[in-house]
Amino acid sequence: MENNARQRIARQAETAIANQQWSRLRFIGNRFERAGCHRDCWLALTQASEATTRYQLPIWPGPAVNCGGVLVLPTTRDLGDELRILRFFGDLKAHVDQVVVLSDPRLYPLLKRSFPGVVCCNPSETPGNAELSHMTAQERLAYWFGSDPQQLQSTFRPLTAPITTGQSPKGIGISWFSKSRNKTLPAVEDWASVLKSIRQPLQSLQYLEKQARIRTLRELSGQRIRSSQPIDQMLDLDGFAGQVAGVRGVLTISNTTAHLAGALGVPCVVVLDNGSITNWPDQGETTPLYPSTRLIRRGSDDWATTLRRGWRTLRSLIPPQ
């Protein structure tokens, strides 16, 4: 990233912090992250969480200082943003006596399995029987343990999904629809043209399957796409994690499926439209947060061609059986 551009974003962050425009910091953080300025991103985003909390504890000073119990504040961003940095709870646990995490209750099983000993608490409740000496934003953990692409890649540890005894991953997971009107996505017809050629079992990882026209996708592709039901991805994130971990690879649009596959270390290809998209890097096919994920942008191609490129890329990522 050019230094002048980085400085412009930094000035925007300083202005937002000075004016206590905490919601604006989220979008400024995304700009930093898309540009690969992770240290700046994490530092800016800590402000929104730590400056608005009701807790009155000192800020955790980092791994060089011995501390007792640390309270991890809830993130101010979306679930996908949170999934990207959950792994740093393990780093914190290795440096302090106790970790209490204020988090979405849907994440509790995944967090407790991935980080034994971490205590989970609803953000609306006060942690009981916890000897806490400091507090920290989730992004501050990323600041200390993932401040640049090299550190993010070298220290990656996947979250632990529920294990189905005696079953190995099989087939390909797909997610093709979003109810967001801000996304430009491939049509069902584009997906069907690519799925026709896949000679592996297909598993839907899609929420709102009826609205996503899964029946039409089955008919047009001639494929028996296994439904994601009875798992409700909106409510049962642990069950959803088990579904994602149960496939050999994932082909998806930008959504929670993409972030969960990346956080679990499942080979994944995310198909993107042109331009800046949330917090995916503006350039390149990789993201240091998810070493097993590749980004395929539409460029000058039509969507069907883009999806075929995505499928070829995913095949190259999947280890042979």
What CATH number is associated with residue 296? 3.40.50.2000
The dihedral built from the CA positions of residue 24, 26, 28 and 31, taken in this order, carries a sign that is: negative
Q: How would residue 321 be classed by pLDDT, with cut points 50, 70 and 90?
A: confident
Q: Is residue 227 part of a domain?
A: yes
Q: Is residue 253 part of a domain?
A: yes
Residues 144 and 9 in one domain: yes
Strand partners, 100: 71, 119
Mean pLDDT computed over 164-172: 79
Mean pLDDT computed over 310-316: 97
Of residues 168 and 305, more confidence is placed in 305
pLDDT of residue 77: 77
CB atoms within 10 A of CB 319: 8
Residues 41 and 76 in one domain: yes
Residues 229 and 285 in one domain: yes
Q: Is residue 166 part of a domain?
A: no
* Distance of alpha carbon 257 from alpha carbon 252, whole angstroms: 7
Helices 22-34 and 38-50: crossing angle in degrees, nearest 10, is 170
**For residue range 144-154, what is the model confidence (pLDDT) as tens digits?**
999 999 999 99
- Domain final residue pick, 128, 154, 180: 154
Of residues 40 and 195, more confidence is placed in 195
Residues 240 and 296 in one domain: yes
Mean pLDDT computed over 207-225: 95
Share of the chain above pLDDT 90, in %: 64
Q: Is residue 32 part of a domain?
A: yes
Residues 217 and 273 in one domain: yes
Q: How would residue 52 be classed by pLDDT, with cut points 50, 70 and 90?
A: confident
User: Number of folded domains in the chain?
Assistant: 2
Q: Is residue 210 part of a domain?
A: yes
pLDDT of residue 267: 98
Residues 285 and 241 in one domain: yes
Whether residue 11 has pLDDT greater than 80: yes
Q: Is residue 222 part of a domain?
A: yes
pLDDT of residue 165: 57
Residues 214 and 105 in one domain: no
Q: What does each C-alpha distance from 155 to 29, 82, 158 come to in angstroms? A: 22, 17, 10
Nearest of 38, 33, 42 to residue 62 by alpha carbon: 42
Minimum mean pLDDT range among 32-36, 82-86, 127-131: 127-131
Whether residue 67 has pLDDT greater than 60: yes
* DSSP 8-state secondary structure symbol assigned to residue 36: T
Residues 132 and 240 in one domain: no
Q: Can you list the positions of beta strands (E) in 26-170?
A: 67-73, 96-102, 119-121, 132-137
* Distance of alpha carbon 86 from alpha carbon 84, whole angstroms: 6
Whether residue 276 has pLDDT greater than 70: no
Residues 104 and 223 in one domain: no
Q: Is residue 53 part of a domain?
A: yes
Q: Do 176 and 204 touch, CB atoms closer than 8 A?
A: no
pLDDT of residue 248: 96
pLDDT of residue 119: 93
* Distance of alpha carbon 135 from alpha carbon 291, whole angstroms: 29
Nearest of 215, 225, 280 to residue 36 by alpha carbon: 280
The dihedral built from the CA positions of residue 104, 105, 106 and 108, taken in this order, carries a sign that is: positive
Mean pLDDT of the chain: 91
Residues 227 and 128 in one domain: no
Residues 45 and 128 in one domain: yes
- Domain final residue pick, 154, 185, 209: 154
Reading the block at residue 166, the tokens are: 């005696």
Q: How would residue 65 be classed by pLDDT, with cut points 50, 70 and 90?
A: confident
Mean pLDDT computed over 53-59: 91
Q: What does each C-alpha distance from 223 to 161, 182, 192, 315 come to in angstroms? A: 27, 29, 9, 18
Share of the chain above pLDDT 70, in %: 97
CB within 8 Å of 277: residues ≥ 6 apart: 254
* Distance of alpha carbon 88 from alpha carbon 140, whole angstroms: 10
Whether residue 17 has pLDDT greater than 90: no
Mean pLDDT computed over 190-198: 96
Residues 204 and 244 in one domain: yes
Q: Is residue 73 part of a domain?
A: yes
Give me the domain span that covers residue 59: 3-154
